[in-house]
Structure 1
Amino acid sequence: MSEKNKQIAQMFSDIAPTYDLLNHLLSFNIDKKWRKEAISYLQGKRFLDVACGSGDVALLLRRQYKDSEIIGVDLSFEMIKVAIKKSINKKIDYILSPAERLPFKDETFDGIVIAFGFRNVVDKVSALFEFKRVLKRSGVVVILEFNNPTNRIFGALYNFYSFTLMPFLGRMISGNGDAYRYLPDSIRRFPDVEFLKKMMEQVGFKRVVYKPLTFGVSFIHIGYKE
């Protein structure tokens, strides 16, 4: 694991105990709707949740695809501990792993989803190649990620919320204001939607499309392995 990955893992481990509370609070619970829409594009029997965090997406997959095999991977051991606790008797496996080096054989999964974690991946191109490698033919990858709103007025409000209010609330609840300054800054530095689409296409994904959610605050990118 790279030094940068270790730093990111430590940051998420530090906020793991309050991560779910703040996630839903700071997004006004809209993140739950976004996750449900993201997994609606998946099909098959074997799914991988990358950067699974506290396991929200993996648990949604279990409810939606009852007979499927689900594995979650994440950098943070503390996050995985939270996910395991939430997933007792749900038949979900969790593995400590970076997105850039997945511990699976070629063509293992029917679908891969990464929700709000791709912007934290250090080597995004390597991760996309890994997603393509472990996907079966006709498999789909779904990337759900935050975005900088294009509407000027809404964007100004969003920036105030993200860079002023979010770190304040994050510090008050989790005790870690730095993490909640890093998170909105990582959104600002994240490639725009067209750039990510082209990145996915250059790696070899086909029929790549994206869809805006809630005034463009977040986007879903979908790509297929053919």
Structure 2
Amino acid sequence: MTQFAHDTVVPVKESELTKKEQVAEMFDDIAFRYDFLNRFLSAGIDIRWRKKAIKQLAEKNPQIILDVATGTADLAIMASAILKPTKIVGIDISNGMLNVGREKIAALNLQQTIELLNGDSEAINFPDNTFDAVMVSFGVRNFQDLEKGLSEIRRVLKPGGKLVVLEFSKPKIVGVSSFYKFYMNVITPAIGKMFSKNRGAYTYLNESIKKFPERKNFTNILDSLGYKNTYYKPLSLGICSIYCGEK
């Protein structure tokens, strides 16, 4: 498997824990503030991004969906409302995030549709050809081994099944790019420190975005792993991108 630059970006460089262990610990620390900070830092635009990602699956009418790195289940809950599937399984390595997600699912009485499990994207505990669709929102940057995670996702997809990935990217337009760099380098870490007890979480966010293989580089990786009909769509002047591929 190829190692990519972002695979080596970790929340705490001095730690002896693996990236996976550090990421789980980091999200456990920020889980109680995660949804608030998402809305606050993105000015609510992340809700529109998720809706656009989910709509990439609409033509497939998927009935059994896997949400990888589900976090607090925002994407799973939204997909349940938009796509009306029979079942959504969300997996994540952070129990703190899953606990927040389960509270939200219970409040909406969606326990029969959405199930959250502790699970590793690089060793998905389901048989081959299980899911009609797989979704990942803001999670692939956190994979310890990107190719391994994407290969596992392809394995559990049914033939003809579709993957949709939502991930941050770097805007290319000069003025937008300058503002974005200032926002990510200065504003985001400062706000993150104000509201989160994990001071490094939002610095890690910025570093992992900088080194992530975005746009065509990411679809090339999907192509190399055997995905078909791959494409990407930049959103909000390139701050975020949707990536898709089929098995």
TM-score range, shorter chain: over 0.9
Match of 1:163 among 185, 193, 199: 185
Q: Are 2:65 and 2:131, in contact at CA under 8 Å, matched by a contact in 1?
A: yes
Structure 2 CA distance, aligned partners of 1:29 and 1:209? Answer: 25
Instruction: Describe the SS at the equivalent of 1:122.
Output: coil
Structure 2 residue 91 is the aligned partner of structure 1 residue 73: yes
Give the aligned partner of residue 211 of structure 2.
Answer: 189
Q: Are 2:62 and 2:85, in contact at CA under 8 Å, matched by a contact in 1?
A: no
Structure 2 residue 52 is the aligned partner of structure 1 residue 34: no
Match of 2:118 among 89, 92, 96: 96
Structure 1 CA distance, aligned partners of 2:104 and 2:182? Answer: 33
Structure 2 CA distance, aligned partners of 1:137 and 1:204? Answer: 12
Displacement of 1:62 after TM fit?
1.2
Displacement of 1:81 after TM fit?
0.3
- Structure 2: gaps (5+ residues): 1-16
Amino acid at match of 1:190: F
Give the aligned partner of residue 79 of structure 2.
Answer: 61
Give the aligned partner of residue 17 of structure 1.
Answer: 32
Instruction: Describe the SS at the equivalent of 2:123.
Output: coil
Kindly provide the CA deviation profile for residues 108-161 of structure 1, in whole angstroms up to 9, marking residues without a partner as x. Answer: 000001001111111110111111100001100001100011112111111111
Structure 2 CA distance, aligned partners of 1:135 and 1:176? Answer: 35
Q: Are 2:164 and 2:243, in contact at CA under 8 Å, matched by a contact in 1?
A: yes
Structure 2 residue 161 is the aligned partner of structure 1 residue 172: no
User: TM-score, with normalisation over the residues of structure 2?
Assistant: 0.89
Percent of residue pairs bearing the same amino acid type: 39
Structure 2 residue 155 is the aligned partner of structure 1 residue 149: no
Q: CA RMSD in A?
A: 1.0
Structure 2 CA distance, aligned partners of 1:3 and 1:186? Answer: 15
Structure 1 CA distance, aligned partners of 2:218 and 2:163? Answer: 13
- Structure 1: gaps (5+ residues): none
Displacement of 1:67 after TM fit?
4.2
Amino acid at match of 1:178: G
Give the paired residue count. Answer: 224
Instruction: Describe the SS at the equivalent of 1:31.
Output: helix
